[in-house]
Amino acid sequence: MASLALQTAEFSAPTQRKASIDREDIIAAALSLLGPHRSVSSLSLREVARAAGIAPNSFYRHFRDMDELAVALIERAGLSLREIIREARLRATTSPSIIRSSIEAFMELLEGDKKYLQILLAEGTVGSDAYKAAVEQVLTYFEQELQEDLIRLSTEANAPLHRPDLVSKAITRMVFAMGGNALYKPADERREIGAQMMVMVRFLMEGSETLYKLEGPG
């Protein structure tokens, strides 16, 4: 867990506080190294230490492993993404607009914090078990949150869904897959991909509604 992440440095006299390197700084250094050709799992401990301006061995004071760093990065990325989507959800309350604004928020994030997204999108299937499990957990969280939204909104709209769990899973996996693909593409292509996502999500929603009429909730 992010044990020391929130500790406020002010007012703390009891223990010694050094203005030295922080977990945060190491995470930032690792982020700075990411790019279209550099994945988290391709970073070396020494490389990160170098970017953070510390000796290789100092790394061990903050993380046991590169793997532990990777998991921390994933959790951070998940948190960041979660906040963005939550904002989008709060702004929109009707079924079509919540989808639109969520995807727009997602694509905006893709413009800006590419690094965070890359961690979740592009590397969920390589790396250690802990690594994969952390990504999976983030995705599952999104699925559950989306499912709640879907059920609430479809009930309000009187357009119930067949297997809303699978609708949310399909949307999540598809958006992440398409997003990972769009990550480092030129802006106009990204916009095109965003538009495609919208249609695909509509397919899923309409399909689920239709199947509800044919077969019930499932």
Partner DNA sequence: CACCTGTCTATACAACTGTATATATGTGTG
Partner DNA sequence: CACACATATATACAGTTGTATAGACAGGTG
Contact in structure between 128 and 120 (CB atoms under 8 Å): no
Among residues 66 and 161, whose Cβ is nearest to DNA?
66
Q: Is 140 in the site for its own copies (CB under 8 A)?
A: no
- Output 100-109 pairs: Cβ under 8 A, ≥24 positions apart: 100/198, 103/175, 103/194, 103/197, 103/198, 103/201, 104/194, 106/81, 106/175, 106/179, 107/179, 107/182, 107/190, 107/191, 107/193, 107/194, 107/197, 108/84, 109/80, 109/81, 109/84
Q: Is 173 in the site for its own copies (CB under 8 A)?
A: yes
How many residues make contact with its own copies (CB under 8 A)?
Answer: 42
Binding mask 13-52 for DNA (x = CB under 7 A): xxxxxx-xx----------------------xxxx-----
User: What is the distance between the alpha carbons of residues 171 and 192, in angstroms, rounded to a whole number?
Assistant: 17
Which among 170, 180, 181 is positioned nearest to 203, based on CA atoms?
170
47 binds, among DNA, its own copies, none (CB under 5 to 8 A by kind): DNA
Which among 32, 9, 33 is positioned nearest to 22, based on CA atoms?
9
Among residues 45 and 84, whose Cβ is nearest to DNA?
45
Among residues 39 and 80, whose Cβ is nearest to its own copies?
39
Q: Is 115 in the site for DNA (CB under 7 A)?
A: no
Q: Is 216 in the site for DNA (CB under 7 A)?
A: no
By CB under 8 A, what part of segment 19-58 binds its own copies? Answer: 37, 39, 41-42
**Shortest Å, Cβ 69 to its own copies:** 17
User: What is the distance between the alpha carbons of residues 5 and 93, in angstroms, rounded to a whole number?
Assistant: 33
Q: Which stretch binds its own copies (CB under 8 A): 8-16, 23-31, 148-156, 179-187?
A: 179-187
Contact in structure between 110 and 117 (CB atoms under 8 Å): yes
Among residues 37 and 64, whose Cβ is nearest to its own copies?
37
Among residues 21 and 107, whose Cβ is nearest to its own copies?
107
**Shortest Å, Cβ 123 to DNA:** 16
**Shortest Å, Cβ 50 to its own copies:** 21
Structure token digits, residue 170? 């399909």
Q: Where are the alpha helices (DSSP H) in 1-65?
A: 23-33, 45-52
Phi-psi domain of 63 (left: phi exceeds 0; alpha: psi -120 through 50; beta: other): beta
Which DSSP state fits 56? G
Residues at the interface with its own copies (CB under 8 A): 37, 39, 41-42, 121-129, 136, 162-163, 166-167, 169-170, 173-174, 176-178, 180-181, 183, 196, 199-200, 202-211, 218
